[in-house]
Structure 1
Amino acid sequence: MDTSTDFALPPVTLRIGGQARSVGVGIHEHINPATGQPDALVPLAGAAEVDEAVHAAHRAFTHWRATPAGTRAKALLKLAQLVEEHTEEFAALAIADNGIARASANATVAAAVEWIRYYGGWADKLPLGRITSAVGAGGSFGHTLRQPYGVIGAIITWNAPLMSLAMKVPAALAAGNTVVVKPSELTPFSAMLFADLISEAGIPAGVFNVIPGGAEAGAALVEHPLVKKVTFTGGPETARKITSACAQTFKPVLLELGGKSANLIFADADLEAAAMHSTYMAFGVMSGQACALPTRLLVQESIYDAFVAKVGAIAASFKVGNPQEPDTICGPVINQGAIDRIDSMVKRAQEQGARLVTGGQRLEGDLAGGFYYPPTVLADVNPDSELAQKEVFGPVLAIIRFSDEAEALAIANGTDYGLSGSIWTGDARRAIRLAEALETGEVAVNGAAIAVAERPFGGIGHSGNGNEGGLEGLEEFFWTKSVAYGNG
C-alpha cells in the first residue's frame, strides 16, 4: 500500500531556547501506523535536557511577561495565520504521526487554528482583577492582580498532538507564561512544525520549548522546581503519578484525562441524523482514539433493534484503509499494542454476552502490514461490563438498551468518568433536564460540536479536573494576588 506524500518529514529534534538539538539520552524508532514500518528516529530527552529547557523557559519568562499585551496578541494571531497557511503540511504530519485519515486531519488543523486565534484575541483583554473600595475594605484601598505562574510544564498524549498543543500553549502564552512541552515519542512530527511557526510568528526564543521523550523526561519535567504548574493530557494511571509528584510541593496540575461518554438516543429524536452522527463520531474521528467520543450508545428500547441495525450498516460502510486517500474514513490505530488491547476487549465482551454486529477482527490482506482494526459495533452490552466501564481507545462502540429517561440517566452516570455526554431528543424540556443531570463536564444536544475553543472543556472524576477552552481555560494559567494600601 502506497502511503507516500510529497511532504518530507521534518527531522525530529529537541527545541531548547530556540536551538535544535539532535542528541538526548536515547533514540526512539518511530513506526508509521499505516505500514508498520519505521520512518524516523526520535531523540529522547533525559533529565539534563529537561533541566536545560526549563531554565531556558525560566530566563525567557521575565521578558515575556513584561511584553505588552498587544504584542503578545499580535504574535499569537500571527501564529494562527501561519498554522492555517500550513494546513497541508500539518495534515501530512498528522497522518505520519498516528495515521489519522486525511479528512479528519484537515478538520483537526482547522480546529487548532480556532483555538490559537481565540486565545490570541484574549491576550490583550486579560481579566486583571477587581478593586475593593476604601469603605468596603475598612478604610484601606485594595485590588487583586492576576499573575502568570512562570514556566508551565505541558505533557501531551499521542492521539491528537496538534490539538493538544493548541488547547494548552496559546492560553498559557496569552497569560504571560512560558512553556516546556513534552510530546509523546510516538507522535513527534506536529510539534516540530509548530515550534518553527512559533519562532516565525515573532515569539522569542525560550518562550516555547519542545523535549520529545518518554517517562523519564515526563517525571523530570513534573518534578522540576522551576516548573510552577503542570498541564497533562493522557490516561488516569499516568495522571496519578503526576498528581502524586506535584503533591510533594503542592504544585497545581490541570488534568484532561479519559472518558466513556454516553450518547442517549430517544425515540422522538431525528433518528437518521442521530444514527449517522453517532456512528461517525464513534469511528470517523481518529478511528475512535479520542477521549471525548461517544463510545457508549444508549438506545431507547422501542427503537433499539432498528437503530442497532442502522448503526451497524453505517459502520460497515465506512472505508478503512490508506489515510492518504480522500475517501478513507478510518485509518489505523497507533501501534500493535493498541491492536492487542482492542481485540482482547472485544473478545471478552462477546464472552460476557455482547452481540457482535459488525467488525471484531484485525484487517488483513493489503492492510496486514499496518495497524488496522475495523469499526466494531457490539450490541446488548451489560452496563456494568468491562466494555461499558473501561476506555477502549479504539474503533469500538458499545450499545446498551434503556427503557425510560430515569434508566438512561442511571446508566449514563454509572461510570467513574465524567468528560462528555450527548443527547438526541425532540423534547426540549427533556434535553434541559438531562443536560443538568448528566455528571459530565460537557453535554452536546442533537449533534452540537464538542471541545470548541469558546467553551470550557474538562471533566470530573477519572476524567480529570480543570478546564481548557473559554475564559476558564485562560484563567487556569493565572494565580491571584491580593494587594491593599493603608493610610499610614
Structure 2
Amino acid sequence: MSMRHRERAAVRRERAGIRERYGLHVGGRWIAARDGSRSDSVDPTTEEATASVAVASAADVDGAVAAGIEAAPRWWACGWQERASRIAALADLVAEHAGELARIDAVDAGIPVDGMAKDVANGVNTLRYFAGLAGELKGQTIEVPGPALNMTLREPFGVVGRIVPFNHPVQFAASGIAAPLAAGNVVVLKPGETTPISALRLAELAEGVLPPGVLNVVTGGREAGAALVDHPAVGRIAFTGSVRSGQAVVRSAAERLKTVTLELGGKNPLVVFPDADVETAARAAVTAMNFNRGQAQSCGSPSRMLIHERIRRDFVDAFVAAAEALTVGDPLDPGVAMGPLAFESHYRRVLGYVDRGVSEGARLVTGGPGRPTGLSRGYFVAPTVFDDVTPDMIIAREEIFGPVVAVLGWTDEDEALRIANELPLGLTANLWTNDLGRAVSFGKQVQAGYVWVNGAGERPLGAPFGGYKLSGLGSENSLDELLSFTRTKNLSLRAAPGGAA
C-alpha cells in the first residue's frame, strides 16, 4: 500500500473509530489467533485495507467454546431477572455508542451512516425485547393421580453457536445474541468474514456488563464457521446466510443431531394488482428493496416484481424515478442513500448477473454495469432495473443479493400466483391491492413465511420471521425464537412409599 493509501485509510479509521489491529474476543478479553493468522478488512468504498483482523482456526474456536463452557453454569444460575437486567444494560450501551457503531459499519460494510441508524436501533430494540421476554421461560404442570406431580422445565443448551452474515453486521450481531442469552445460554458468535469489526466492538462493550465467557467472538472464514458447527459441545446452531451454506450447516449438524435454525435466502415476489395506487406502490417498493440500508443486500428484498400489465409501464416509470433519486456515494457522508457492495467478489458476482440479464434479452431501464457517475473506485452498483423479464430468465430465478430488480408482467391472478410460487425459495412476499378479499386469498396461497399487504418491508418486534422451502428452518424475532434456545425436560415426582405425601 502506498503512503497516500495508508494516509487515506488512517483518516477513515479515525473518522469511524476503527483500530488498526484486532484480535479475537474470548473470555472477556482480547487474544491473538493461536497460529497468528490475520486478514485485512477492506473498506469497500476505497478498496483499501482498513484494519488487520485475527483469523480463528479450529483450535481458537475450541478455546472460545471452552470459555463458554466455564461461564455457562453461572450464567444460567443467576436467574432470568439478572440476565434480563444485564441484557438491557448492554442494549443501553449499544444505544449510547450508536454513532460509533454506525460509522464502523459504514467503513467496514459500506452501509450509509443514515441507514445505519436504523440498523443499530433494530439491534438495540431486539436486545430490549428479549430482555423483557426472559420471564416467559415457563414450564407446565400435568395432572397425575395420587401424591405425585409432573412438570416440565425449560433449560438452556449451554453453548450456542451464532453465525451471522455480512450485510447488516452490528444489527445481526446484537439481535442474534439476544434470545440465546435471555434463555440462559452463552454464545460463541462468528460474524461475517468481510465485516467483523462491529461485532468485535460489541463484545468489547459487553465486557463491563456480561460475565467473562458469556459472549465470545471468533472472526474468520469457513474454517471457523465449520469448527463451530461441528464442535461436540455446541448443541444449538443458529445460522443466517446463503442456501448453500445453510445446507452445509445442516449436513454437519446432523452428525450429532444438533438443533438448528436457518434464515436463508429469498427471491421474493412483490405482486402489484391493477387496483393499487401505482405511485404509492412504487415508492414503497423502493423502500422495501432496502437500497439505503445495505444496497439491497437483504434476504427480504422484493427483487422479483410481478406487475399487472395494465399498470406495468406506469409502475416501472415511478419506480425508476424514485430509485434514480437516491444518492450513491461515500457511506460516511450524511445524506448518502446508497454505498458500495460489501466486498469485491460479491461485487463481481452482482455485475455478472447484470451482464446475464442483458444477454438474456431483458430490457435494461436504468443502472447497469459500471460505477455510477462521479465514482472512480469502490464496489458501487447503481440501482438497476430490468423490465420485460420472463420467468425463465436467470435474473428472475436466482437471488442476486444486490440492487438489481427484475420486473415481470402478468394478466391473470392464477398466472401471478404460479410465478410467485414456482421457485424453491419462500422467504417473503409483498402484495399491493385495495381488495381485502383478494389480499387474504392470495396471501394464504402464496408460499412465503412472511407476507406483507401494502407494506414497505417493516417488521414489528414480536412478529415471527422465517422462510418456507429452501429459505430456512424455524423462526426468529418472537417468543418462538426464545423458546427455541431451550430444551424441555420432564420432571416426574411421586412420594416415596410410606413417605410423607
TM-score normalised to the size of structure 2?
0.93
2:77 pairs with 1:70:
no
Are 1:197 and 2:208 counterparts?
no
CA distance in 2 between counterparts of 1:293 and 1:24 reads: 39
Which residue of 1 is the match for residue 125 of structure 2? 114
Q: Structure 1 212/452 Cα, relative in aligned 2: closer, same or farther at 3 Å? A: farther
- Identify the match of residue 308 of structure 1 among 309, 312, 316: 316
Please report how far the alpha carbon of residue 98 of structure 1 lies from its aligned counterpart in structure 2 after TM superposition. Answer: 0.8
Report what 1:19 is aligned to.
29
User: How far 1:24 moved relative to its partner?
Assistant: 4.2
Q: Distance in 2 between matches of 1:166 and 1:422?
A: 27
Counterpart pick for 2:49 among 30, 38, 44: 38
* Aligned residue runs from structure 1 range 421-432, under 5 A: 421-432=429-440
User: 1:327-346 maps to which residues of 2 (within 5 A)?
Assistant: 327-346=335-354
**Map of 2:15 onto structure 1:** 6
Please say if residues 180 and 186 of structure 2, whose CA atoms lie closer than 8 Å, have aligned partners that are also in contact: yes
How far residue 449 of structure 1 moved from its aligned partner, in angstroms, is 4.2
CA deviation digits over 1:209-231, x for unaligned, max 9? 00001111111111111101111
Letter in 2 for 1:106: A
Distance in 2 separating the partners of 1:24 and 1:409? 53
What CA distance in whole angstroms lies between the structure 2 residues aligned with 1:472 and 1:85? Answer: 29
2:399 pairs, out of 377, 391, 400, with: 391
Q: In 1, are the aligned partners of 2:341 and 2:381 still within 8 Å (CA)?
A: yes
Identify the match of residue 159 of structure 1 among 167, 185, 197: 167
2:362 to 338, 354, 357: 354
Shift of 1:141: 2.5
CA displacement at 1:448 relative to structure 2: 5.2
Q: What's the C-alpha RMSD, in Å, of the aligned pairs?
A: 1.7
- Dislocated runs of 4+, deviation >6 Å: none
Supply the AA of the counterpart residue of 1:155.
I
The question of whether the paired residues in 1 share the 8 Å contact of 2:43 and 2:108 is answered with yes
- Cα pair 2:161 2:238 within 8 Å, conserved: yes
2:286 matched to 1:275? Answer: no
Q: Is the 8 A contact 2:475 2:481 kept in 1?
A: yes
Instruction: Give the drift of 1:444.
Output: 1.3
Q: CA deviation at 1:77?
A: 0.9
Residue in 1 that maps onto 2:267: 260
- Identify unmatched segments of 5+ residues in structure 2: none
**Which has the larger displacement, 22-31 or 174-183?**
22-31
Q: Residues 46-65 of structure 1 correspond to what in structure 2 (within 5 A)?
A: 46-65=57-76
**2:87 alignment partner, SS class:** helix
Answer whether contact 1:423 1:431 (CA < 8 A) is retained: yes
Per mean C-alpha deviation after superposition, the further-off stretch among 191-200 and 418-427 is 191-200
CA contact (8 A) 1:24 1:44 kept: no
- Could you tell me which of 132, 138, 149 is aligned with 1:141? 149
**Counterpart Cα distance in 2 of 1:449 and 1:356:** 25
Instruction: State the alpha-carbon separation in 1 of the partners of residues 402 and 391 from structure 2.
Output: 19
Q: State how many pairs are aligned.
A: 484
Matched AA of 1:262: P
Shift of residue 357, structure 1, vs aligned partner? 0.6
Q: Distance in 1 between matches of 2:224 and 2:458?
A: 31
How far the C-alpha of 1:126 sits from its partner, in A, is: 2.2
Cα distance change, pair 361–146 in 1 and its aligned pair in 2 (3 A): same
Tell me the amino acid that sits aligned with residue 30 of structure 1: S
Q: Which amino acid aligns with 1:233?
A: T
**Residue identity opposite 2:435 in structure 1:** D
Partner residue, 1:240: 247
Amino acid at match of 1:128: K
Q: Distance in 2 between matches of 1:111 and 1:300?
A: 34
State how far apart, in whole Å, the 2-side matches of 1:451 and 1:245 are: 31
Q: What is the TM-score when the length of structure 1 is the normalising length?
A: 0.96
Amino acid across the alignment from 1:442: Y
The unaligned stretches of length 5 or more in structure 1 are none
Secondary structure of the corresponding residue to residue 295 of structure 2: helix
Task: From 154, 176, 183, give the equivalent of 1:175.
Answer: 183
- Give distance in 1, aligned partners of 2:102 and 2:280: 28
Q: Tell me the amino acid that sits aligned with residue 250 of structure 1.
A: L
Question: What letter matches 2:76 in structure 1?
Answer: R
| Paired amino acid for 1:7 | A
The letter for the 2-side match of 1:319 is T
Which position in structure 2 is the counterpart of 1:223?
230
Q: Do 2:279 and 2:315's aligned partners in 1 also have CA atoms closer than 8 Å? A: no
Q: Deviations along 1:188-221, whole A, 9 cap, x unmatched?
A: 1111221122223x21000000000111111111
Q: What is the CA-CA distance between 1:368 and the residue it aligns to?
A: 2.1
Larger mean Cα displacement after TM superposition, 268-277 or 138-147: 138-147
Residue 353 (structure 1) shift = 2.1
451, 455, 474: which one pairs with 1:466? Answer: 474
1:86 aligns with: 97
C-alpha spacing 1:400/1:365, structure 2 compared with 1 (3 Å): closer
- Number of the residue aligned with 2:462: 454
Aligned partners of 1:313, 1:191: CA distance in 2, in Å?
36
1:105 aligns with 2:113: no
* Shift, 1:111, TM fit: 1.1
Indicate conservation of the 8 Å contact 1:363/1:374, yes or no: yes
Of 190-199 and 108-117, deviating more is: 190-199
SS at match of 1:284: helix
Shift, 1:84, TM fit: 1.0
State which drifts further: 106-115 or 448-457. 448-457
Aligned-partner SS, 1:362: coil
Q: 1: distance between equivalents of 2:404 and 2:259?
A: 34
Identity rate, percent: 38
Give the distance between the partners of 1:223 and 1:76, measured in 2 at CA: 28
Query: For 1:452 and 1:223, how far apart are their aligned partners in 2?
Result: 34
Q: Is the 8 A contact 2:272 2:431 kept in 1?
A: yes
